[in-house]
Amino acid sequence: MSTYSKIAKDGLWEQNVVFSQLLGMCPTLAVTTSGTNGLGMGLATTAVLTVANMLVSSVRMYVTPQVRIPVYIVLIATLVTVVDLTLNAYLHDLYKVLGMYIALIVANCSVLGRAEAFAAREPVLPSGVDGLFMGLGFTVALTLIGLIRELLGAGTLFSQASLLLGPSFKFLEMTVVHDYGGFLMMILPPGGFLVLGCLLAAKRVYQVKTGQEVTESAGHALA
């Protein structure tokens, strides 16, 4: 079971998609204008990552290295399209909130990255667990960035969360600073870069201070 706890720790902290691997920068910076948006995008990506990892793992015996990339892309794109259609048809209110982000998941290279780095070599179950925790790590990162930008930019937390999670989550919606004039730059793209940069620096400082090995991912690909 220790392998699973290592997978979990990798996904959430050591190899965090955003804070360590610096993958999936497009949704990370574009979507995180509020905590709710970050959370929604994170959860949708988690679902796709988990299933995509399991799919890739289950066909790994039949796929040759020469055609693996197109095969993974076809699998991931199909999966995302099916999720998109299903949400649109059966959870339409949620779709209206998340709709524009779902198609973006295909462009998130962390999905292809996990297929290539983990699922192509490991059995189905560990691959699924890896996808789940990588996704959760991504969700935590996006929600955190979204909350900071929302708080600084609009003075609220989790606004419109009830649209995403249902009316029972209305309590999450908070106006922290009343009559806040707004700090538009945090909502606009530069705010995403600023917050991400500060968080990356903070994680680095923490790891250096506590003597942890700083895991620097080999690939600093941006997508």
Binding site for other proteins (CB under 8 A): 33, 59, 61-64, 66-67, 70-71, 74-75, 77-78, 81-82, 85-86, 88-93, 95-96, 153-154, 182, 184, 187-188
Tell me how far, at minimum, the Cβ of 61 lies from other proteins, in Å. 7
CA 130-136-142 angle, 5° bins: 135
Closest approach, Cβ 152 to other proteins, in A, equals: 12
Tell me the closest approach of the beta carbon of residue 13 to other proteins, in angstroms.
Answer: 31
Instruction: Output the six-digit token pair for 215.
Output: 């895991």
Q: Would you say 23 or 120 has its CB closer to other proteins?
A: 120
**Contact by Cβ (8 Å): 24, 223:** yes
Q: How far is the CB of 52 from other proteins (least distance, A)?
A: 12
Q: Which is nearer to other proteins, 185 or 222 (CB)?
A: 185
Nearer to other proteins, 176 or 208 (CB): 176
Cβ-based burial of 1 (10 A; exposed 0-12, middle 13-18, buried ≥19): exposed
Q: Pick the closer one to other proteins by CB: 66 or 210.
A: 66
Cβ atoms < 10 Å from Cβ of 15:
22
